[in-house]
């Protein structure tokens, strides 16, 4: 996934932040990896091109990006992974046996969102859910 179609500088500025060179390098690295990425893997990619960016900067940047909705995180195989937020919410089915990850469209969750809102007055943040179970091959 690429981040060239969204103006993240404006997103950051509207929240009182800047798109610093370090933040841009980290975002570029995450996009270049193009998959769910753990902090350690992201740090290695960043460090390979810009050794002056330390691990703490990567952590702080990813926390800020997650807070602003620029990236989303998920728990996969016991670790937190990140990806650039898609323009529409999507979800993942994760096989606990083989580790396969299948993307699931958001339309499956619209009825649940409506139910939570209508019946409970609860506005749920359902934009990136991971569901663990067994895939068809492992069943």
Q: What is the pLDDT of residue 117?
A: 92
In tens, the pLDDT along 52-103 reads: 999 999 999 999 998 988 888 887 777 888 888 876 677 888 888 888 888 8
Ranges of CATH 3.30.1490.190 domains, the chain: 90-133
Q: Which CATH architecture has domain 8-84?
A: Orthogonal Bundle (1.10)
Nearest Cα neighbor of 74 from 59, 85, 60 is 85
* Cα dihedral: 107, 132, 36, 70 (round 10): 50
Give the predicted TM-score (pTM) of the model: 0.71
DSSP β-bridge partners for residue 83: 72
Q: What is the pLDDT of residue 3?
A: 52
Q: What is the pLDDT of residue 126?
A: 79
CATH fold of 90-133, please?
Dna Ligase; domain 1 (3.30.1490)
Ranges of CATH 1.10.10.10 domains, the chain: 8-84
Q: What is the pLDDT of residue 91?
A: 81
């Amino acid at each position: 996934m690429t981040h060239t179609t969204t103006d993240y500088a404006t997103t950051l500025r509207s929240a009182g932040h800047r798109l610093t060179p370090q933040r841009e390098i980290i975002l570029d690295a995450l996009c270049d990896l193009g998959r769910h990425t753990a902090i350690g893997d992201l740090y290695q990619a960043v460090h390979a091109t810009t050794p002056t960016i330390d691990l703490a900067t990567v952590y702080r940047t990813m926390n800020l990006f997650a807070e602003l909705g620029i990236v989303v995180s998920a728990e996969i195989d016991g670790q937190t992974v990140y990806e650039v937020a898609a323009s529409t919410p999507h979800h993942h089915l994760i096989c606990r046996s083989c580790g396969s990850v299948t993307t699931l469209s958001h339309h499956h969750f619209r009825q649940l969102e409506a139910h939570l809102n209508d019946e409970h007055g609860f506005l749920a943040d359902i934009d990136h859910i991971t569901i663990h179970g067994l895939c068809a091959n492992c069943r």
